[in-house]
Each structure stands twice: as C-alpha cells, then as structure tokens.
Structure 1
Amino acid sequence: MRSFISGLAVASSLLSYVCAARLPARLEARAANSTVVKPKVFIVSMFDPEAEVWYGIPEFDLLAVNITLPGGSPLFPDVHCTVSGDVCQITIGESEINAATSITSLAYSPLFDLTTTYFMIAGIAGVNPEVASICSVTFAKYAVQVALQYEFSQLEIPSNFTTGYIPLGAHSPQQYPTSIYGTEVFEFNANLQHWAATQARTATLNDSADAVAYRANYAVKAAYAAGAAPPTVYECDVATSDVYYSGKILSETFGNYTTLITNGSGVYCTTAQEDNATGEALLRAALSKLVDFSRIIVMRTASDFDRPWPGEAATTNLWWAAQGAFPPAIMNLYLAGIKVVEGLLEGWESTFADGMKADNYLGDIFGSLGGTPDFGPFDYDNNPVKAKRSMKSMKYKTWKPVA
C-alpha cells in the first residue's frame, strides 16, 4: 500500500491486533502501519474491460492506491482507490462463485470500513428487446437467480410444457417454488435506483453504426419496438445465471420466471452472471453490520440482445452477428456511472452520508434484514429437495464407526 499511513498509535495497534487474527503473517506488518480505508463509493467490476474503462479518467485516479485483498480474485488481486480513499474499485471475476467469494473477502477484510459505502455494480449484460435496446443503461430493483430450478431437456418435457425449467419443489413452470434456498430474489432500494437512473439520464450515451444497423432488424416485430430504439436509461430488472444463454425460448422462460418469483412486479430486462451472488454476499455482510444493504446500486449496460430478431438463428445472434454494442456498452458504464459517482460525492454531506431511505422492502425472500417480503410463497415448509437429501432417508443411516 502506497498511502494511508497512520499517525495514530492507537489506531495502528488496534488494526495490528485485528490483522494478526485474520491475515497471513506476511501481511501483518503492512496492515499494522496502515489506516482503514473508508470509501464513499465502491465500483464493482466483473472483468477487465469493465474495470479498465475507469482507469485514466479525468475525474479521479483510481490507480493512485493499490491494495492487495486477501481472498480476492487470483486474476484481480488488487483493490484500487483514490488518494483520499473516497472512491475505490474492485474486479471480482465473472460468474456466481467468483462474485460471492470476492465480495465476501472484501466485506470481511479489516483493511476497509464499508459501513457507509455505496456499492455500484457496473457491468455489461444481455438485454431483452421487449424492454430495452443495446447500448442502453439499466438500473435494477430486483436481481433474480433464474437458473436455480429443475432442468429437463427440451426434448424430454411433457407436451403441455413450454420449457424444461421447473421451479424447485414445483411440478410445472407456472407454480411458485416451494423449495427455497434464499438467493432466488434480492430487492434493492428503489429510491436509490431511481435517483441513480435520473443522474445517468444527464449523460450523453455512446452508440455505434453497427449497433444502429443491427437493432433496426428488431423493428419488424411490434413487441420489439424498445429493442429497435436508440439507447437510453431504463429502470428494470436483472436475471442472474452462470449459463450464458441466447434465444427466444430460454429468454422468455427466464422472463416468465422473473415475473413469477417477484409476484408479478419484476420486469426482466437484462441478463448477467453475478448479481445474486454479489447480493447474497452483501446481505450476509449487512447482517454482521459491515455494510448497509440499502446502499447498493445495480447498473448494467446492454452489450448484446438475449434473443435473435425474427428470422435470425439464436447461434448467429450469440456468436456471429455484428451487434456493435460491446464497445459502446463498456464506454456507457463510465459515461452514465460517473454521473452517479459524482452525484454521491457532491451530495455526501447533505444527503448520502446518512443514507437514502428506502420505501420498499429490502433484502431476500426470508426477510433476513427485517420487514415482510413483497414476493415469495409465504409458506415453504414442503421441501422435497431437502427431504430427498436428508440423512434420514439414506440406507446407511445406522452405520457406526468401528472402535
């Protein structure tokens, strides 16, 4: 660490004690001589291009201070911060496991105080042309783990099923799951998402000639009118799946599941791989009073369509089509995101230090953070998956070790 040198013996001694218990020995000396970083804003990237768009910008220097995070991604081991420590950035790695592990390591690290930090997830995503267009910017109230279901091959499903995905504990695609894991849905601060979207609307978004040409193909279907429109800022919801899917059938399946799992209030808009994992890690940290769950912003920019235009193959849409949206979507993370970051910093003393009150429910399906969820089956004691896995059902339940 190149900055944050402590001049206070008490703080140094305290941090040394904490680090000795939680950090490898080779890190103790460095940590003992450093203050705890307390960011106002933490930008969360998933992979290189999303991170690099924030480096070398005129507003602030995120590479001024580089902090190696124990437990961070092997590919992206450092957290980057401004000299003041007001703004930091982490690259957590792609997919749910990487996201959960990296965010957990960050939240429980003694190197940071995140109790008043705003987390801005800033990544690209696929987009539903029924709701938005490529190169657009979206802010989500809900993150839905759409692939947490039973799965049958499309070739082996009953004739009256439209999909091979069936909610856990259910027996048809239309039934609410009764086998609940707790990560199915996260609801974020709607007031904060709306404020962030309003800030982002002051930006001039990037586009490309290829993206203009490609989205015009979607104008042939009235339901895809939003997909044929120029990029703008939307408030709609994100689906999480480690499976990078493409095509009308899967996209409609996961859109229907988003509607089902949120009791009709969610709007499936974008598809990404990390947000429910990030949400769960931050929720558990919030239960330990390490972060404030009401201070999470989920911003995704649209780098590709989740399904083809009528007449195009799903494989072409995913692999070979010149959609032209990836570079503008990456740039729009910065163009829209910097408006959000600047708004948080400029309004810190007047508004954001104390937090923006949420009028909606916050958290998971269990009500872990308090309050009553406005989604869920409200009765999920019948859990066939757990029964199936129960030790009581195993033939060797009476096995005893030999003395």
Structure 2
Amino acid sequence: MQVRSFLAWWLLTFTSMPSGSGASTDIVRQHSKITPKMFIVSMFTPEAEIWHGIPEFDLLSHNISLPGLSPLFPSIHCSADYEVCQLITGEGEINAASTVSALLYSNTFNLTSTYFLLAGIAGINPEVGPTASVTFARFAVQVALQYEFDAREIYANMSTGYLPQGSTSTTPDQYPSSIYGTEVFEVNAQLRSIAAAFAKNATLADSESAKAYRKLYKSDSGIYDAATQDPLVLECDTSTSDVYFSGRLLGEAFSNTTKTFTNGKGIYCTTQQEDNATLESLLRGALAGLVDFSRIIIMRTASDFDRPHLGESPFENLFTADEQGASTPAFENLYRAGIKVIEGILDNWEGGFEKGIKAKNYVGDILGSLGGEPDFGSGAEKVVKRAILGERRGRW
C-alpha cells in the first residue's frame, strides 16, 4: 500500500512538467477529462504566438504536457475556463499526423463535441485571390501523392511530370486507380460557410508592401486580376504537399489534380504542408468515437503567391517571398478572422453549436470510412477497400 501511495503521489506531482511560459502548468485531471469547445490547431511558432496575449482569453493559463507531442512544442495550451485550447503540431505531414494522434489518444481530453479550427498560413493561387486573404476549405487534396517524373525527362507533349498513381499512360487528368485513402477529405460545407460568414466581420490586416506587390500581377490577359484585390474572405480549397513548391507549371498541374481528385468540385486555392495528415488523424479519431468529423474548420491565410507574376522567375518568387509583404498580415489575420469564428461559436453554443451543424454534403475521406457515399472518386477506391477488408477477413 505504501508503494502504491508513493506511486500515486509521484504521478500526481510529476506527470505534467512546466512548459517554460511562466503560467500555471496543469497536472492531468484525476476525476474528469478536459472538455474544450474549441481547439485551435497551429503548425509552428508564429502561427501559435499570434493567439497569445490577446484580450479575449489567455491561452497560456494552462499548459498541459502530453507524451507524443512534438519535442519542439511539448505542451497544449488552454484558456482559464478550458473552453479554448491550442495544439501546435510542428510543420509537415509526419509532425501533424503524429502530434494530433498523441492528443486524441492521450485520454486527457473529451473531444466529442469540440470544434477544431485548423489555422495556418499558406501560399495562394493568384488566379483565385490576393495575399493576406482568409480562406475556408471544403476539400483538402493531397496533390503530391502521385507518380513523379523529372520535368527534364518527360515527353514533349506532356504538361507535367506528375501522373495519378496506378496510371499507365501519360495523361494527368485520369483518376488514380491506386488509392491510399488520404487523397481527398471533405469537411462540413455548412459549417465552412458559417465560419466564413463570421470571419467577414473582421477587419483584415494588410501592408503597403503587399499592396504594391499585388499590383505586379496586373496584366493585359487579366489572368491574375484576382490577385490584385485587397484581402478578402474566400471559400476555396486547399492542397497538401510536404514539398514546398513554386511556379506556374506546378501550380497549374496541382490545380488540375484538385479538379480531378474532387470530380470537378474543388477549387485549387491554397498550398500548405499539413492538412491532409491532420484530417486523417482526426478521421481515425472519429472512427474511434473520439471526435466529430463534422466539426472541423480548415482556415488558411495567404502569406505568399504560389507562382510568380509575369516577368519573374519561380526562384525569385520563392527566394524573395518576404518581399511580397504579406507574411505579417497573414499571421495577424489568423487571429483577426479566427477570433470571429471562435466567438461566433462560443456565443451561440447553447441550442446551436453545442448540438452540432448538420452537414448537407458528404463528410469524410475517399473511402467512405465514416459512412455515406463520397461525391468524388472513380469507384476504384471501393474495390480497393473491399479487397483489403476481404483479405483481412480471410486471414482472420
């Protein structure tokens, strides 16, 4: 009994260590799980810190260390009343998936009614919108999950070195026949539009240098006229790739991938490195009854263009991205738009968001894992799923 008592004391005292912020550090609650209404998912330091020191709530009131979080970001932050918490995943798909999984299976939180706000910066397609804009996605597409050939070795009649997996021809607009299951995720379109409406109440940040840079996208063809506007709130989709790419040809190729993978419904808009990985972890959590996949909001603010303006090289577009002047307002707009979303949900919790927003569209992955019929895909994914499940049953 004395040994058990000592172990209980040790666990109570040392299972959560200070995160170094100077704020209180929570020990995992012994009798009840933490039940946040909102969870902000940030990817790296500037995205995270824009939420710290704000007047609405203090996210550093509680800092909770969990096994399996990023070594760079070992603590989850929560407001004093635990209504709003923040997870920092680390950048890239592997960091995102492993960190979100650590949160879900920690047994520290009850996330069954929590709304997740995936809030990060991104590149933006100048055919769709300007930098410093705030975007809300319905589809997240893993555009780099394809066959890749060096562009210097492709046939003259090929438009790109990217081809769908399972392809035996050089045509890029065929649906992949080799399906992994993470190619496309679709989230609640009704919630997406509600979040965008909340965000439109924000006064978006901009900069003089960003305004001047956007003017360079004006041309006689008008192809990039959308890029010359002031920042705005957009409903358009996001692409995930660990590779940080730059250039018109890659942008056009991945725009085609987005259309193909979503059966023409998706609008290639922003570029980032984490969202499909985060969504796969959340989907598996939903299958385990830990989260509600219809309570996910994908918000990305535009820090730079994914391709150069006419007369500029892809190298200049990437290597001098800071000269585009949009990074600072993009970080700021994560807070300015995001806080409107959070307040809109919290202020209308009882009788509204508490019970959830019913999706009228399909919600889930390409395999239909959560039930329902995906409104994208070729049918090959059903064959793949049946074959795998049948093979597994045969072994068991």
TM-score between both structures, scaled by the size of structure 2: 0.89
Between 1:30-39 and 1:49-58, the stretch displaced more is 30-39
1:292 aligns with 2:292: yes
Q: Deviations over 1:240-269 (max 9, x none)?
A: 000000000001100100000000000000
The Cα shift of 1:136 comes to: 0.2
Amino acid at match of 2:356: G
Alignment of 1:74-113 (within 5 A): 74-113=71-110
Is 2:287–2:370's contact at 8 Å kept on the other side of the alignment? yes
2:204 alignment counterpart:
205
1:393 alignment counterpart:
none
Is 1:245–1:306's contact at 8 Å kept on the other side of the alignment? yes
1:329 alignment counterpart:
330
2:353 alignment counterpart:
352
The Cα shift of 1:24 comes to: 12
Is 1:168–1:180's contact at 8 Å kept on the other side of the alignment? yes
> RMSD of the alignment, in Å?
2.2
Does the residue aligned with 1:218 lie in a helix, a strand or coil? coil
Q: C-alpha separation between the residues in 2 aligned to 1:362 and 1:382?
A: 20
The Cα shift of 1:25 comes to: 11
Is 1:63–1:82's contact at 8 Å kept on the other side of the alignment? yes
Q: C-alpha separation between the residues in 1 aligned to 2:175 and 2:345?
A: 38
Q: C-alpha separation between the residues in 1 aligned to 2:357 and 2:80?
A: 26
Does the residue aligned with 2:190 lie in a helix, a strand or coil? helix
Q: 2:114 aligns with which of 117, 120, 131?
A: 117
Alignment of 1:8-87 (within 5 A): 27=15, 30-31=27-28, 33=30, 35-87=32-84
Does the residue aligned with 2:28 lie in a helix, a strand or coil? helix
1:250 aligns with 2:250: yes
Amino acid at match of 1:119: F
Does the residue aligned with 2:51 lie in a helix, a strand or coil? coil
The Cα shift of 1:33 comes to: 3.5
TM-score between both structures, scaled by the size of structure 1: 0.87
Is 2:36–2:84's contact at 8 Å kept on the other side of the alignment? yes
Q: C-alpha separation between the residues in 1 aligned to 2:270 and 2:138?
A: 12
Q: C-alpha separation between the residues in 2 aligned to 1:230 and 1:31?
A: 45
Amino acid at match of 2:133: S
Is 1:40–1:86's contact at 8 Å kept on the other side of the alignment? yes
Unaligned runs of 5+ in 2: 1-6, 17-25, 388-396
1:140 alignment counterpart:
137
Is 1:150–1:165's contact at 8 Å kept on the other side of the alignment? yes
The Cα shift of 1:32 comes to: 6.0
Q: Deviations over 1:69-105 (max 9, x none)?
A: 2110100000000111100001100000000000001
Q: C-alpha separation between the residues in 2 aligned to 1:379 and 1:109?
A: 35
Q: C-alpha separation between the residues in 1 aligned to 2:12 and 2:243?
A: 35
Q: C-alpha separation between the residues in 2 aligned to 1:182 and 1:83?
A: 38
Q: C-alpha separation between the residues in 1 aligned to 2:226 and 2:117?
A: 25
Q: C-alpha separation between the residues in 2 aligned to 1:380 and 1:72?
A: 32
Is 1:179–1:382's contact at 8 Å kept on the other side of the alignment? no
Q: 1:318 to 1:32 in 2, by over 3 A?
A: closer
Between 1:237-246 and 1:23-32, the stretch displaced more is 23-32
Q: C-alpha separation between the residues in 1 aligned to 2:223 and 2:269?
A: 14
Is 1:44–1:121's contact at 8 Å kept on the other side of the alignment? yes
Is 1:178–1:381's contact at 8 Å kept on the other side of the alignment? no
1:268 aligns with 2:256: no
1:339 aligns with 2:312: no
2:282 alignment counterpart:
282
Is 2:179–2:380's contact at 8 Å kept on the other side of the alignment? no
The Cα shift of 1:26 comes to: 5.5
Q: Deviations over 1:338-361 (max 9, x none)?
A: 000000100000210000000000
Amino acid at match of 1:342: E
Q: C-alpha separation between the residues in 2 aligned to 1:168 and 1:372?
A: 22
Q: 1:64 to 1:316 in 2, by over 3 A?
A: same
Q: Deviations over 1:16-73 (max 9, x none)?
A: 99xx9xx999639943636311000000000000000000000000000000021101
Q: Provide the identity percentage.
A: 58
Amino acid at match of 1:132: G
Amino acid at match of 2:285: A
Q: Deviations over 1:298-317 (max 9, x none)?
A: 00000000000011011111
Amino acid at match of 2:15: L
The Cα shift of 1:380 comes to: 4.4
Q: Deviations over 1:146-183 (max 9, x none)?
A: 00000000011122210000000012212110000000
Amino acid at match of 1:194: S
Does the residue aligned with 2:270 lie in a helix, a strand or coil? strand
Amino acid at match of 2:184: V
Q: C-alpha separation between the residues in 1 aligned to 2:380 and 2:256?
A: 21
2:307 alignment counterpart:
307
Q: C-alpha separation between the residues in 1 aligned to 2:37 and 2:244?
A: 33
1:11 alignment counterpart:
none
1:184 alignment counterpart:
183
1:390 alignment counterpart:
none
